[in-house]
Amino acid sequence: MRSLWNDLEAKQFQGDLGLRVYTSRLLGRDKSLVLHGGGNTSVKVREKNLFGEEETILYVKGSGWDLETIEPQGFSPVRLAHVLRLAELPALSDLEMVNQLVTHMLKASAPAPSIETILHGLMPQKFVDHTHADAVLSVSNTKDGEKRVREVYGKRCVVIPYLMPGFDLAQLCAKEFKRQSTPETVGMILLSHGIFSFGETAREAYERMIELVTLAEKYLDSKRAWSVAPRASRSARTQVPEQPELRRRLSDAAGAPLILRTVTNERTLGFAAHPELGRISQQGPATPDHVIRTKRTPMLGTDIARYAQAYRRYFEEHALTAKEPKTVLDPAPRVILDPAFGLAAAGRTAKDAAIVAEIYDHTIDVILRAEALGGFQALPSQDIFEVEYWDLEQAKLKKGGKPAAFAGEIALVTGAASGIGKAAVAAFLARGAAVIGIDLDAKIESLHSRPDFLGLRCDVTDEAQVRFALEQTVIAFGGLDMLVLNAGVFPASRKIADLPTDEWRHAMSVNLDANLLLMRAGHPLLKLAPRRGRVVVIGSKNVPAPGPGASAYSASKAALNQLARIAALEWGADGIRINTLHPNAVFDTGLWTEDVLAQRAKQYGMTVEAYKTNNVLRTEVTSRDVAELAAEMCGPLFSKTTGAQVPVDGGNERVI
Ligand SMILES: [Zn+2]
């Protein structure tokens, strides 16, 4: 492992807190040190308060921030003196500890400080870095982990037996640090949990972390336990037809729609086919806080009922002996291993599922290295249960907060690179859905860079490309809940007498035939949608009120309208709703070049401005107006409506 410290980069950060931000980001950049939300860092700074008195402020990572992207305001400024006084108490509950820390910060708007704040405060050094480094966990999570850790670090690190993060752990670390540390001590290993490093400067603490983790890497290498890629017995393809059904059953077990991200590659296939998978995968996570994301164990195969039963047993067994009454979490697995597809990761959002997949990717490394070293050994299930069900997590549950309307659901939008389609992508993302945008235009691929969006170049008139797009949807997110049929062409104005056959056929092919392909191929997926499938067709005012010179467009949209009505009749039994919007005069779309706009205005003998607001309400209709209504039509307001046609046109006299 190499230090990523760069003098030029570092110069952009000022002061102790600035450099604390910089090296925290450096830690966050390396996923083998820190995964999403994991790890924490701090710095102790002398500051003058409002009254001119000097005091030491402990800036410690706030909850909800990732080290990789942390900003100065991501650090909670806590008065160190109070932290040290708290540490003297004989006992302190987690909830009271958080209350004490939050009420002794300098800034009311700062995030709640890390649960490991007291531990950071008790360490005498100015800068304290904490990670869950893969290599350290690989050495520690073995049968004689403590002996091996001491062998690797000698006097350089204090070694602490496992204890759940919180007040007791902070006290134990302070006591053990005093007892074990020597002038050579620069770090601390928390067995089965992670590693701390210390320094008087940001750079020193960071580079000690790198140095200490490198020692573990070298140790693993010297024991032939470093390069341990699982061998795939054969190359398999993601079992696309089966994932939507699996996702449906998972969502039913979870009581809410889940995203299912499938990762099929040599690594995941090899691990899922490991001859000792039952033993090595069913012990527990690499470090306890992963349990919040991954649950304690992956599901092997696809028998969800069996997994859920075992999960409830695990809950009941440990809840009985807990001090506080516990609320059971949903029993659906978050990690699934199957030799047919490798790994699948489930989450309430696409981001959650991506995090689960990433955590497990690292868990595979930790397990295989620990195996090569002498046998992977995770913490007993009781310890994992305590983290999964600790008071603070349970308190979060009770506070609840409503999930986004489409959390866990998947929408596919055609013609998504511009205009109404692009606005629809935004509308569905804003409501928490994972979105696949497809378009002929290559710019769709870079429309958004986020885990809940997939942009694919696709010619919707080509059946093979449509099938490919749906396959990618299933691999990335697990299924399809909502379909927005928006892609269309609007040929230049032409009288029937002058209309070339190929222009007519092209309009029919894009505006009508392509939608049949998508509806036909999408139907089996929509049928499996946990909350029932929904389709929105972007029609046109020209359906109820055609205009001269637009025969190909009007006829193709009218035929599409009829197709949608028949789909509403045929798919009602599957619970799939299909409704149509008839926009008119939406000028911020890809269809409306200035040329076309000028032509159409002339057709009606108007200026372009008058043409734009030529409706009963004298208002301009935008892509966003149409897209927002399309999203709402997939929501609960329209849950009893199918086969409807709703104008979005500012009121059109001919339609009314
Ligand atoms: Zn930790």
3-state secondary structure 396-449: HHHHCCCCCCCCCCEEEEECCCCHHHHHHHHHHHHCCCEEEEEECCHHHHHCCC
Residue range 216-272, pLDDT digits in tens: 999 999 999 998 877 766 666 666 679 999 999 999 999 999 999 999 999 999 999
Centre of ligand 1 from the C-alpha of residue 130, in Å: 7
Report which DSSP code applies to 239: -
Centre of ligand 1 from the C-alpha of residue 451, in Å: 25
Q: Which residues, including other chains, have CB under 8 Å from residue 28's CB and lie 6 or more apart? A: 34, 39, 66, 67, 68, 69, 70
Centre of ligand 1 from the C-alpha of residue 73, in Å: 21
Residue range 594-618, pLDDT digits in tens: 888 888 889 889 998 888 898 999 9
Centre of ligand 1 from the C-alpha of residue 81, in Å: 23
Q: What are phi and psi of 198, to 5 degrees?
A: -130, 160
Nearest Cα neighbor of 280 from 371, 381, 148 is 371
Residue range 387-416, pLDDT digits in tens: 999 887 777 666 667 889 999 999 999 999
Residue 591: pLDDT over 80: no
Centre of ligand 1 from the C-alpha of residue 38, in Å: 7
Centre of ligand 1 from the C-alpha of residue 17, in Å: 21
pLDDT score for 52: 93
Distance CA 561, CA 564 (A): 5
Residue range 434-461, pLDDT digits in tens: 999 999 999 999 999 999 999 999 999 9
Residues 158, 128 contacting (CB under 8 angstroms): no
Residue range 313-342, pLDDT digits in tens: 999 999 998 888 888 999 999 999 999 999
Centre of ligand 1 from the C-alpha of residue 604, in Å: 69
Nearest Cα neighbor of 117 from 57, 200, 30, 158 is 57
pLDDT score for 397: 64
Nearest Cα neighbor of 626 from 430, 425, 424 is 424
Residue 33: pLDDT over 80: yes
Please enumerate, as own/partner, the contacts of 103-111 that have beta carbons within 8 Å and a separation of 24 or more: 104/78, 104/79, 105/76, 105/77, 105/78, 105/79, 106/49, 106/57, 106/77, 106/78, 106/79, 107/76, 107/77, 110/62, 110/73, 110/75, 110/76, 110/77, 111/62, 111/63, 111/64, 111/65, 111/74, 111/76
Coil/strand/helix, residue 497: helix
pLDDT score for 239: 64
Residue 78: pLDDT over 70: yes
Nearest Cα neighbor of 29 from 77, 64, 65, 67 is 67
Report which DSSP code applies to 637: G
Centre of ligand 1 from the C-alpha of residue 194, in Å: 6
> What is the average pLDDT across 185-212?
97
pLDDT score for 601: 87
pLDDT score for 603: 87
pLDDT score for 590: 65
pLDDT score for 236: 60
Residues 420, 490 contacting (CB under 8 angstroms): no
Distance CA 345, CA 391 (A): 26
pLDDT score for 36: 83
Centre of ligand 1 from the C-alpha of residue 316, in Å: 27
To the nearest whole number, what is the mean pLDDT of the chain? 94
